Amino acid sequence: MTKISVKKGGVSLVTVLISYAVAVGANALAKVAGIDIPEDTQAQVTVAVTATVSGLITGALNFWKHRKDAKPVAIPKV
């Protein structure tokens, strides 16, 4: 059975919520700028932006966590 810690689950939830807020904000900026986006396209853009920003945040957090890890040692072939 796979376990996930409350901390990791919380970080994932916050990451997705931030990403969703960015997507909704981008949609609001498009409306203010007078850009007309069809309703179904808005939903697709929201999902795509949420996934992209969430992936970027998760990748950045992973990089930050492991930035000082030791480099893997390669075993020479004989």
Domain presence at residue 74: no
Q: Which domain holds residue 27?
A: 6-62
Domain presence at residue 77: no
Q: What's the structural domain count of the chain?
A: 1
**Do 65 and 27 form a contact (C-beta atoms < 8 A)?**
no
Per-residue pLDDT of the chain (78 residues; tens, 9 = 90+): 567 688 888 888 899 999 999 999 999 999 999 998 888 888 898 899 999 999 999 999 889 888 888 888 888 887
pLDDT at residue 34 in the model? 93
SS (H, E, C) the chain: CCCCCHHHHHHHHHHHHHHHHHHHHHHHHHHHCCCCCCHHHHHHHHHHHHHHHHHHHHHHHHHHHHCCCCCCCCCCCC
pLDDT at residue 1 in the model? 59
Domain presence at residue 68: no
